[in-house]
Structure 1
Amino acid sequence: MSDPMRPPVSHPRATSPHTDPSRSRASLRTAVVWEVLKDALDRRVKAAGSQTLDVLDTGGGSGNFAVPAARLGHRVTVVDPSPNALFALERRAAEAGVADRVRGVQGDVSGLFDVVERDAYDAVLCHGVLEYVEEPTEGVRNAVGALRSGGVLSLLAAGLGGAVLARALAGHFKEARTALDDPAGRWGEGDPVPRRFTAEQLSRLVGDAGVDVGAVHGVRVFADLVPGVLVDTEPGAFQELLKLEAAAAELPAFHAVATQLHVLGVKQVTDET
């Protein structure tokens, strides 16, 4: 039975290399997430009855998603621990002509309510954050706590299966096995990522925090495995790879080998007024 709290699942559309929030080859890493997020914001606009949403981007850095969201007309607050990233965000927002709709605040998801209010946002982005916090459960709960009832959560984190596959294809079979067996999904002391997740783990974290999971997407299923020279030199290869990424994103069979996993959900509606 379908859940009315869950956003309808739509197939991500391939994005051209000149479409925000990224450019050229980098769009292979963001296209699926951006298209899904943009659709979710559109649905939230209709549900809220307002063309302008309040969006919070935790760990938003220099504004890869924040600036494009502001260009859609939304008010965006970016919380990031790096002063350099926030300076780059300010400059990027000014260049895009949305400086009046983008605000940068130094902080992190663990101390989120030291810098932003609870229950104040229509959408919260938590991208590339859970891998690095000491308590992922707390991080998700804080992100959800910043949402208004019925608000949208966009969560992006490193996938375990993608790391295992990448190490194996590189011939590092012992490291691949280590990552597979390690509770945090790390392949060794030299691994720069402190923690990785499966789709089931992320969905459980989100669900336990009071969010109805609407869709899970595999991100960078093929992009990190295809030789760059092939994508850059073969005519039409870039666009075809974008289409392939979009087509595979929602298929559960590919979640297990994705470099990143994206979970989209809606905060459960409460009876409180």
Structure 2
Amino acid sequence: MSRPSASLRTAVVWEVLRGALDQRAKLSDRAELAVLDTGGGTGNFAVPAARLGHRVTVVDPSPNALFALERRAAEAGVADRVRGVQGDARGLFDVAERGAYDAVLCHGVLEYVDDPAEGARNAVAALRPDGGTLSVLASGLGGAVLGRALAGHFTEARQALTSPGGRWGEGDPMPRRFTPEQLTALITGTGLDVVSVHGVRVFADLVPGALVDTEPDALDALARLEAAAAELPAFQSVASQLHVLAQVPPRAAPAAGG
């Protein structure tokens, strides 16, 4: 069964991220931000960010993904603003600079690393200490449970629901999944302030692609439905992915006479 397009499934994240980059540019009084995209792959978010005028460094372990990133950036006319380097979250500072970035994207990373808390701390350590924005996208537990159940795999759905990592069995390709509470606790544990939480792909992974293709205006209607449900906790709990936006807390003003 085919699914709606990838652009629909990432639309909620991009809208939040674009707004956050615009706000960060205003707060920092810099039109061109330094952005680090860890696990950025072929540039689904890096290239659009570069098209906004920002400089983006993409760290990814796959040479093939980085090659595709280079080609994609060239086709978009932003090759001079996108740099791809081979590396991973654990050895992030072998290829990236500490405290140097206005925004860090950590998408599809924390569910794969051996130690999610370490991965989150590394992402935060890359942010400018005087102000920076972190965007985290990770697999949601509820979406996996719901998906397995609707496919008739009830034992696997229960296994995902009750196992510590949210996996439905040995054949599950996803090493780990999070509830909204687990993911936000992971981020606040680094010392950042959580700005927003969104559920991503609440419906898109469940709707047959043929239905979207045959019904007039169905794709736009589905996109609007996803956007409307994204901020509601009831739907975040059953989303296939969770998006958390966080920022470095403002420094306290010095006491009078201090």
Which TM-score applies when normalising by structure 2? 0.95
Alignment of 1:37-56 (within 5 A): 37-56=17-36
CA apart distance, 1:270: 4.1
Does 1:104 pair with 2:93?
no
Aligned to 2:152: 171
Amino acid at match of 2:45: F
Could you report, residue by residue, the CA deviation over 1:214-266 in whole angstroms, capped at 9, with x for unpaired residues?
10000000000111100111111000000000000001110110000000010
Alignment of 1:49-64 (within 5 A): 49-64=29-44
Match among 139, 145, 166 for residue 119 of structure 2:
139
Q: How many residues align?
A: 249
CA apart distance, 1:268: 2.1
Amino acid at match of 1:202: L
Which TM-score applies when normalising by structure 1? 0.90
Q: Secondary structure at the match of 1:209?
A: coil
Q: Aligned equivalents of 1:248 and 1:259: distance in 2?
A: 13
Aligned to 2:167: 186
Q: Aligned equivalents of 1:210 and 1:42: distance in 2?
A: 23
Could you report, residue by residue, the CA deviation over 1:77-109 in whole angstroms, capped at 9, with x for unpaired residues?
000000000011111111111011000010011
Q: Aligned equivalents of 1:270 and 1:146: distance in 2?
A: 17
Could you report, residue by residue, the CA deviation over 1:114-145 in whole angstroms, capped at 9, with x for unpaired residues?
11111100000000111110000000000000
Aligned to 1:67: 47
Q: Aligned equivalents of 2:251 and 2:43: distance in 1?
A: 31
Q: Secondary structure at the match of 2:168?
A: coil
Amino acid at match of 2:115: E
Aligned to 1:127: 107
Aligned to 1:162: 143
Q: Aligned equivalents of 1:54 and 1:30: distance in 2?
A: 22
Aligned to 1:257: 238
Amino acid at match of 2:202: V
Match among 137, 147, 152 for residue 133 of structure 2:
152
Aligned to 2:256: none
Q: Secondary structure at the match of 2:18?
A: helix
Q: Secondary structure at the match of 2:112?
A: coil
Amino acid at match of 1:163: A
Match among 209, 219, 237 for residue 228 of structure 1:
209
Percent identity, aligned pairs only, is 75
Amino acid at match of 1:267: V
Match among 218, 225, 231 for residue 199 of structure 2:
218
Q: Aligned equivalents of 1:212 and 1:150: distance in 2?
A: 11
Aligned to 1:198: 179
Could you report, residue by residue, the CA deviation over 1:10-66 in whole angstroms, capped at 9, with x for unpaired residues?
xxxxxxxxxxxxxx8211211000000000000001000010000000000010000
Aligned to 2:63: 83
Q: Secondary structure at the match of 1:29?
A: helix
CA apart distance, 1:271: 6.6
Q: Aligned equivalents of 2:8 and 2:160: distance in 1?
A: 25
Q: Aligned equivalents of 1:29 and 1:127: distance in 2?
A: 14
Q: What runs of 5+ residues in structure 1 fail to find an aligned partner?
A: 1-23
Amino acid at match of 2:18: K
Q: What runs of 5+ residues in structure 2 fail to find an aligned partner?
A: 254-258
Q: Aligned equivalents of 1:168 and 1:197: distance in 2?
A: 18
Q: Aligned equivalents of 1:236 and 1:147: distance in 2?
A: 41
Amino acid at match of 2:13: V
CA apart distance, 1:157: 0.2
